[in-house]
């Protein structure tokens, strides 16, 4: 089985991929609204209710 580099070269995309930056991210500003009190924030791992997405092992919980 061919490795990934060989497959990319055969597809003509290796030069394109090699010229791209490693990663670029866009992170919108978080609004300071609907925040937890200090103790709850420490317990939940975030001060923002909108970012409180508990991991259940099955996917996101609906509130």
For 24-58, how does the pLDDT look when each residue is reduced to its tens digit (9 = 90+)?
Answer: 787 888 888 999 999 999 999 999 999 898 877 77
Label residue 16 by pLDDT band (50, 70, 90). low
Torsion sign across C-alpha atoms 34, 38, 44, 46:
positive
- The number of CA neighbours under 13 Å toward the Cβ of 37 is 2
Pair 36, 46: CB distance under 8 Å: yes
| Phi, psi (degrees; rounded to nearest 5) at 52 | -80, 95
Residue 3 has pLDDT above 90, yes or no: no
Per DSSP, the three-state class of 54 is coil
Examine the pLDDT at 1 and tell me if it is beyond 60: no
Cβ atoms of residues 62 and 56 within 8 Å:
no
């Amino acid at each position: 089985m061919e490795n990934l580099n060989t497959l990319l070269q055969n597809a003509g995309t290796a030069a394109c991929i090699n010229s791209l930056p490693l990663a670029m991210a866009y992170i919108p500003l978080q609004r300071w609204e609907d925040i937890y009190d200090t103790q709850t924030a420490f317990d939940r791992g975030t001060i923002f209710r909108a970012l409180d997405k508990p991991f259940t092992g099955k996917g996101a919980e609906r509130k």
